[in-house]
Structure 1
Amino acid sequence: MLRHIKKLRLKSRMAKNKQQHLPRLTDEESAQTPLSSSLLHNEEALRTIYANCWDVVFRSFWIAQKERALLIYIEGLSHAEEINQNVLAPLMEATDLQITTIDDLTDKTISVAGTSKVHTYTDIVEHISLGEPVLMMNGHKAGLALGLENWEKRSIEEPEAEHVVRGPRDGFVEALQVNTASLRHRLKSPRLKMEALKVGDYTKTDVVLTFIEEIADKNLLEEARNRIKRIKIDSILESGDIEELIEDHPFSPFPQVLDTERTDVATSYLLEGHVVIIVDGSPSVLIAPTTFYSMMQSAEDYYQRFLIGTAVRWLRYIFLFIALLLPSLYVAILTYHHEMVPTQLMISIAAAREPIPFPALVEAFVMEIIFEVLREAGLRLPKQIGPAVSIVGGLIIGEAAVQAGIVSAPMVIVVALTGISSFAIPRYSAGIAIRMLRFPLLILAGGLGLLGVILGIIAIIVHLCALRSFGVPYLTPIAPMEFRDIKDVLIRAPKWKLTTRPRLSGKANTYRASPHQQPGPHRGRDSS
């Protein structure tokens, strides 16, 4: 009996090894498999492909009561009512229909706007997966894909992570066609080009590389195209998967590809010579190349008056330094540099810290971790209770920690100011990077004081100088210095001064507006 079991196990292992070593057809090889002229043979092959797929409909019928045909579609992805009215009913009720080629169906009977011929099983599977029914006839080696896709789409609404007071309220959604149409609606020019690529062995995700011809640099286009084409993976479910596979420095905490859900933001970057990568199934599009200063810009900067936009932009830079350095400076000064604090303030802080059993470094770490936990809990909980839990939890935990003598009141104030300042960073991905860098800076501050903070700042600056985004320096136009582009970095210059595109992304077509358009009461009058 034991010998028999061993033989069965050996045969099972040999069968598995044999199955693993069977030759597997690549996509290129399977794409060369043509359809048969026998409808029965084609139907058997497709039923084998779609075995155990209950939602795939095989509808057999007769055309004009003399030609056998087969219609295949996925229930829920195709428009069933349109199929009945514009395909099945006209073909089945036809009385005098002469069919020489399958194109005769669209010329004489089928009233569907978008049709295309398919010649291989791979083509059929791709069109059916997109929601396009495929019609095949006996005696013909080609099928007909009908543009009758119909699946549920989320309505266009304002992105929740990129609110503005003044500006457009529309954003991208998960449907690729809706997103490309939104860009076409804003850029009504045939120079807006969209190259379709497919990524993912199983998902076959559509990825669209979008750019404006004669503005985007050709080397940038070729680099973006090559990075997407070299991706070999089984699935792409979100644009973040593409971002992680095409960035220059994967171990950097800073994002090297900008993501946005706003159509106006994507349009403005296209007009500056950037490329936009749209991924089917994701409302976030990717913009490359990007810089550190792009992370500090908001769409509303360009919809308000330029003086207000400049002031708000400077406030963001101040909040950036507060979010990054305030806890570290507090720990360093309180631990090593008491002489830098006014005497009365130092006495007040010392009195508040007298019952605290932990050093300032441990106190700061505890409060920072608690704050991050509250923030994450507020994001993951349902919208109705998330903000309430985070606010009430912060108040209760902060007050209870102070009353229990675990943390001091000044530390609660420092951590609260740091958290509020981090919310002022427009880009969520950049905000996460700043939040994560606070912890190593805290360790340096606790061990070396202000010297450790300075060393940490130098390390961050050196790292930023070494970063590239699709070959573009991350700190451009400050490092390297480009005086022409500074007018849209540290300040928000008025529209009539933004006459040129950024040099490193829009150098193929430099000028975007005519000069000498400064408005005023003396403008536009006749010289006479």
Structure 2
Amino acid sequence: MAVWRSGEDSPFSLSAAENTKHQSSDGSPSSLSAAENTKHQSSDGGSFSLSAAENTKQLIDLLGKSGDLKERTFSFEKAEGRLLYFETIVDSARIEESILRPLSETDRQNAEEALTVLEREEKADPDKAIAALMQGKVLLFLEGRPIGIACGVETFFLRSIMEPANEKVIRGSHDGFVESLNTNIALIRERIKHPGLMIEYVQLGQKTNTRVAIIYEKEIANPELVEELKRRVNSIDMDMMFNPGFLEDMVEDSTLSPFPQVLQTERPDRAIANVMDGRILLFGDGSPTCIIMPVTFFALYQSPDDYNARTIPGSFYRLLRFISFLIAIMLPGLYIAIVGFHFEVLPPDLILNIKGGVQTIPFPPLIEVLAMELAIEIIREAGVRLPTPIGQTIGIVGGIIISDAVVSAGFASRTTVIVVAVTAISSFVAPSAEMSTATRLIRFPLMILASLFGFYGLMFGIVALAIHLCKLESLGRPYFAPMAPFRLKDLLRDTFIKQSAWKKKTRPLDSRPLKEGAEFGSREWAKK
């Protein structure tokens, strides 16, 4: 029967001198008693002694006197045992039920087998033992054994699985990823019941020790791309890694480009569709966001709703998104170029109407449009930071009031307000929030070029933008494919228009999948 003692025996009170360990002349730990505190050397140079008290003292000295670091001492068949854990990240009830109670009902010889925890692992190295502590494990030390037993009794703080607020769909699944890596992987495994689904873990962050999962389908994903992503992830060296933005910056090809070279999603169905196309997923523990690589510019304008809709409606809305992109980046610059340089391209009646409004404005077109664009951005940012009901009210009411006041005061024309409003709405059509942000940023240099050189400046900016897109890569693959390199079949297959599922015979070639064909199969019954 085990007898539990209070924390008065805690090695917090021991001095460093009292913690001195001795070795026998032959170096054999089996030839020494527990009182002699012989050190047992592990293969990697770390060490624990045969004394449970010495082992916990050693770890506490390494960790420091943290307020939530707790030690429990007990007697076990006339010998001493110790538990060490962080009370804030373990389940105290599970410690009692799965560790302490079984130990009190068994003998010393069968102590480890008596534990009822599902996850336990021997740790002979102090550094590995500390890593286990940080992950919510309880370390069990028994007198006479130069190892610690890491028992998995973590406590989990999870929110319910619900639909992502920023990726709602009308049809399709309504679940989303959460902050638990294990839960997110379970959502993937639930849908892909195939042995080829591979999951590899990496620890990132010297201080945070964040688990990152690399997920791919080994029979579809290109091994060269998988190895390249592993190389980039393994080369990351930083203190903390708890934000998907950090991970994105570390693995994407061009961090100075306004365009995102990864696709971020919180939807399991979208992540799975990309896995089956030969792409690779990156998950970080503590984040509900999944990073997908490689991706193309056109993939960022595809929505899960496309594949839940019929072919013609799905194609229409996808084309509408691409048109909205062109409107969002070009309309303000086009308006500035026309008002400042090229009034002759407008019908006579429209010229009189626009000129009548512009002549009373004391600012040049560029300043007028820039001021309105900045006002829209300020309203949008305020709406994001405020609680949802108030934010929506600020966005609508603020936009109406400011627009009316600006026109009434003569600071901007009605045409300018219309142009800025249409541009703002078009920029929010992109399914990807990162692409929406990039779209809003791109139009500012185009506006400046249009104000300096008219249509020539605007066209120069568009050509420079196209060259930049053609040069970009995502995980070493062309970002602007299938436009550059140009592949007409891919362009017509499932890029600008949504292809019927039964006609989709091949996977996208941008990820160089091992299996290009037979993604969805065919409608054999229609041939009979």
TM-score, normalising length: structure 2:
0.89
Residues 1:79 and 2:91 aligned together: yes
2-structure distance, mates of 1:117, 1:314 = 58
Offset of 1:515 from its aligned partner? 4.7
* 1:152-203 alpha-carbon deviations (Å, 9 max, x no partner): 1121111111111111111111111111111111111121111100111111
State the identity %: 37
Give, in angstroms, the shift of residue 86 of structure 1: 1.8
2:33 is matched with which residue? none
For the 8 Å contact 1:106–1:112, the answer to whether it is kept is no
Between the aligned partners of 2:269 and 2:439, the Cα distance in structure 1 is 26
Equivalent-residue separation in structure 2 for 1:426 and 1:164 (angstroms): 11
Alignment equivalent of 1:328, drawn from 325, 328, 333: 333
Match of 1:387 in 2: 392
SS of structure 1 residue aligned to 2:388:
coil
5+ residue gaps, structure 2, are: 1-41
Within the candidate set 194, 210, 218, 2:199 is matched to 194
Within the alignment, does 1:502 sit opposite 2:508 as a pair?
Answer: yes
Q: Structure 1 pair 519/424, CA: closer, same or farther in 2 (3 Å)?
A: farther
User: Deviation of residue 490 (structure 1)?
Assistant: 1.2
Selected match of 1:58 from 53, 62, 71: 71
Residues 512/38 of structure 1: CA separation in 2 closer, same or farther (3 Å cut)? farther
Is the 2:133–2:139 contact (alpha carbons within 8 Å) kept by the matching residues of 1? Answer: yes
**Structure 1 equivalent of residue 257 of structure 2:** 252
Equivalent position of 2:35 in the other structure = none
Equivalent position SS for 1:153 = coil
The 3 A distance-change label for structure 1 pair 86 and 516 is closer
| Structure 2 equivalent of residue 126 of structure 1 | 131
Give the Å deviation of 1:50.
2.9
Q: 1:231 to 1:386 in 2, by over 3 A?
A: same
CA deviations on 1:317-354 (whole Å, 9 max, x unpaired) are 11111111111101101111111111111111122223
1:47 maps to 2:60: yes
Secondary structure (helix, strand or coil) at the match of 1:35 reads strand
Matched, 1:482 2:487: yes
Q: State the secondary structure of the residue aligned to 2:137.
A: coil
Counterpart of 1:302? 307
**Pair 1:68-2:80 in alignment:** yes
Question: 1:232 and 1:513, CA in 2 relative to 1: closer, same or farther beyond 3 A?
Answer: closer
Task: Name the CA shift for 1:297/1:514 in 2 (closer, same or farther; >3 Å).
Answer: closer
The residue type equivalent to 1:44 in the other structure is K
Q: Is 2:147 the counterpart of 1:142?
A: yes
More displaced 10-residue stretch of structure 1: 381-390 or 423-432? 381-390
> How many corresponding residue pairs?
486
- The answer to whether residue 478 in structure 2 is matched with residue 473 in structure 1 is yes
Maintained 8 Å contact 1:76/1:151 = no
Partner of 1:97 in structure 2? 107
Deviation at residue 480 of structure 1 after TM alignment: 0.9
Aligned to 1:10: none
Q: Which of 18, 37, 40 is the matching residue for 2:50?
A: 37
Indicate the SS of the match to 2:60: helix
Per the alignment, residue 206 of structure 1 pairs with 211
- The structural deviation recorded for 1:457 is 0.3
Tell me how far apart the structure 2 counterparts of residues 502 and 243 of structure 1 sit (CA, whole Å): 23
**Aligned counterpart, 2:461:** 456
TM-score by length of 1: 0.89
Distance 1:58 1:244 in 2: 40
* C-alpha deviation, 1:98, in angstroms: 3.9
Residue aligning to 1:25: none
